[in-house]
Amino acid sequence: MDYRYCWLRDATFTLLALMHAGFYDEARAWRDWLLRAVAGSPDQLQIMYGLGGERRLEEWEVPWLSGYEDSRPVRIGNAAVKQTQLDVYGEILDALYHAHCHGLPTVDRAIAIGRTILGHLARVWRQPDEGIWEVRGPPQHFTHSKVMAWVAFDRAVKFREQLGPQVGGAGEEEGLRRIRDEIHQDVCERGFDPDLGSFVQAYGSKSLDASLLLLPLVGFLPPTDPRIVGTVKAIEQRLFVDGFVLRYDTGEVVDGLPPGEGAFLACSFWLADNYILQGRVHEARELFERLLSLRNDVGLLAEEYDPRLSRQVGNFPQAFSHVALVNTAYNLTRAQGPAQQRADRDKARRHLAS
């Protein structure tokens, strides 16, 4: 698969990591690139763009190439560009909000784009999508996607509270709160399985998904909420294999891919972040050190790791893995790491001001 593009989701994670490290010029440059790339009608928003903002990323197969270790089919382009992934809207609003909280000047274009995205998301958040993992199966009501739709409206409310009337009147703020609360209730009622004691990958499913580890990291529920504790426990029992975390059980999920894959390294870092938020620091550090030991001779990580063959697999190097590493390192070494800051920006603003 062709990966020479910029995924908005991955880039948002990178933006947050840059700001946490104090690289504000780089963060501002990416924020401005983002605003240029997503300008236009929100129903035409793509989940990825070319590095120059190109929108046409057609996919086609190259049958005469065998690929790495005969990993056919070799594809140029990426068909995921045509998918609907609701979480991207939440990632964009979250990135713009955190950029503001870190002191990057708020521009009128960002406010206008944010309001347009929210209007579109208010109409489509109830629809199924292909989700964070870009499954090539039927669209579903993925729990993580709905949570990130909640993030979009939650950050808009917080943004409105800080900037006041320049981003809308009281009626608009009340509308944002109403939709935010509606999504929250919908996820808690339909995305949580009482029998499993855990959130599930999609509404009506019994499958788990490592993206559920992001729920406390974005502030959807406190890390000590019994539903979050139960979700972490369930993932430990069913997706934590040979010391690392799988994205989901490939035997249960129709994703359009061959069965079986390595452990997804970013998900393993997310589990470490959850351990930190739950006060399980020793376990977090142990997992973090295990992940660090996988790096090659120049410190790079791939997308996945195969414990059976003891080697890195998948896309290499993978920004998603490295950004997750950076965030977990900060979470382990700062009183207010990225996990705490992203989940509770009001507390984080007080921390940055002190």
Q: What is the CATH number of domain 192-354?
A: 1.50.10.10
CA distance 182 to 186: 6
Backbone angles phi, psi at 123, to 5 degrees: -90, -25
Common-topology check for domains 1-190 and 192-354: yes
At 80 the pLDDT is 64
The string of DSSP codes covering 223-240 is TTSHHHHHHHHHHHHHTE
Q: In angstroms, rounded to a whole number, what is the distance separating the alpha carbons of residues 13 and 30?
A: 11
Q: Tell me the average confidence (pLDDT) per consecutive run of 10 residues in the chain, 354 residues long.
A: 71 81 84 76 72 73 76 71 81 85 78 83 91 83 95 89 60 83 95 95 93 94 94 94 86 54 88 94 94 90 82 79 90 70 53 38
Q: Where are the domains of the chain?
A: 1-190, 192-354
CATH class of the domain comprising 1-190 = mainly alpha
Distance set, CA 250 to CA 146, 192, 194, 254, 260 (Å): 22, 20, 23, 8, 6
Please report the pLDDT score of residue 133 as a whole number: 84
- Rg (C-alpha) for the chain, rounded Å, is 20
| Whole-prediction pTM | 0.85
